[in-house]
Amino acid sequence: MTLRIKFFFFFNLIFFSKSTLAQEQVVYKTIDTLDLTLEVYRPKVTHESETYPAMIFFFGGGWNGGSTAQFEPHATYFSERGIVCFLVDYRVNSRNKTTPFESLMDAKSAMRFIRKNAEEFQIDPSKIIASGGSAGGHLAAATALIEGFNDPNDDMSISTKPSALVLFNPVIDNGPGGYGFERIGEQFKDFSPLHNIREGAPPTVIFLGTKDELIPVETMNYYQTVMKKVGSRCDLFLYEGQPHGFFNLKNPEYFEKTIREADRFLQSTGFLKENADPKSI
C-alpha cells in the first residue's frame, strides 16, 4: 500500500469511525483518586522477537485544557508505519486546577513509565520519540531538556529523555515576552526549553506557521540557531500564512504536509525504515 493510499485510507477512517482506534488504555499514574492514562496504538503486524520504536504524543491546550483526541490521527498513521504510539493524558487547569508545573511532572512520569515497561510494550527504549503540539510540544521538549519538575514518587533512575523530538508549533520560550510567563514567572529559567538547550539535545523537527499568533518565527529561528551551536540537529519547516494549530487534521492539506515531513525526518534518523517515499503521501 503506498503512503498516498494510506493517507486517504486513514483520512476516511478517522472521520467516519465512531470508535477509538487505541487497542488499550493503561494507567501510568494515580494521584489520590485520579487515574492518568496512556492510550496505546500498536502496529497491526508485530513479531514477538522484535522491538519497535515508540512515539509519545502530548496534546496542546495551554496547560489549561485539551484532549488526547488531538493526536489520534497521528498515532493511527505512525502505528501503521511500525511505531508503537502513546497518547498521554495529563493534568490541566480546567479539569484538575493545576499549574503548568504539574503538567510537566505528569509528562515526565509518562516517559518513565513507558521506558520502564519497554519490554511489555515491545518497544526499544533507545528509540523513543516525544511529540506534541503547542503546550504539548513544550512538554515533549521539556522531557528532553528540563532537569527539574519531577514527581517525587517517580523512579529518578529512569531517564525521561527521548531520542528524537517531533514538535508542532511548540511553546519553547516561557521567558519574559514568551508564552505563559505570567504563570511561570521567574521559574522560566528552569522550565523553558529555549533557556535550557545543552549539548546532547536530541535531533528535532519543528513545524510552524508564519502567522502563528502565539509563537514568533524569530523565536523558533533562534531556537534552531542555539541547537546548532550545541551540535544538535534541528530541522525547521515554516508554512507561509498559517496560524497556530494549522497542522491538525481539520486542515487536511497541512496535516498531510507535516505528516510527510515528520515521516521523512524519522526515516533520516533511523526510526522508520526507508522503504517508502514520504513524497507519495
Percent of the chain with pLDDT over 70: 90
The model's confidence at residue 49, banded by pLDDT at 50, 70 and 90, is confident
* Burial 62-101, CB ≥16 within 10 A → b, else e: bbeebebebbbbbbbbbbbbbbbbbbbbbbbbeeeebbbb
Provide φ and ψ at 131, rounded to 5°.
Answer: -145, 160
> In the structure, what pLDDT confidence band is assigned to residue 270 with cuts at 50, 70 and 90?
very high
Give the Cα separation of 258 and 272 in Å (integer): 16
> What is the pLDDT at residue 46?
84
pTM, rounded to two decimals: 0.91
For 24-272, CATH gives 3.40.50.1820
Three-class SS state of 235: strand
Q: What residue spans define the domains of the chain? A: 24-272
pLDDT, residue 45, reads: 85
Reported as a single tens digit per residue, the pLDDT across 86-102 is: 999 999 999 999 999 99
The pLDDT, as a whole number, for residue 9 is 46
C-alpha cell of residue 30? 494515580
Q: Helix or strand or coil: residue 30?
A: strand
At residue 279, the pLDDT reads: 46
How many CB atoms are closer than 10 A to CB 278? 18
